[in-house]
Structure 1
Amino acid sequence: MHAGDDGDSLEQATREFLAARPQLFGIAYRMLGSAAEAEDIVQEAWLRWQNTDRTNILEPTAFL
């Protein structure tokens, strides 16, 4: 791995997460009925997504 690879990977992961975020929030809100709780769940998903080995994930939105 090159020094810049991790940064590029995190940038890509950020773009993928931000693209899926409205859908994630909508699902969490419908399940929980609370915007604050839905935000907490989306934040947890972001933390997990950052620490996931995304090498073989073909559909980030489906994974998230």
Structure 2
Amino acid sequence: MTPVSHAGTGPEDPEDGSPKPLADEIAESRPRHGEHLNPATFEVRLRRWALLLLIAVPAIWFLVQQLD
């Protein structure tokens, strides 16, 4: 019978084990003092803000109209 290696236990797998906490990954994605922002990251953030405003502004306007 041949031994079966399970995912994550082979010699070709990284040695670090578990993933980093989300707060650490977010902190690493932010530019440090003096570094430039990645254009792709900037575009994603800009699109997220645009989508948020596209939804939030009409929703707030609708609520204000309902209160009058």
Q: Give the TM-score, by structure 1 length.
A: 0.35
Between the two structures, name the one with larger relative contact order (CA 8 Å, sep ≥ 6).
Answer: 1
- Answer with 1 or 2: which has the greater Rg: 2
Q: Is the helix fraction higher in 1 or 2?
A: 1
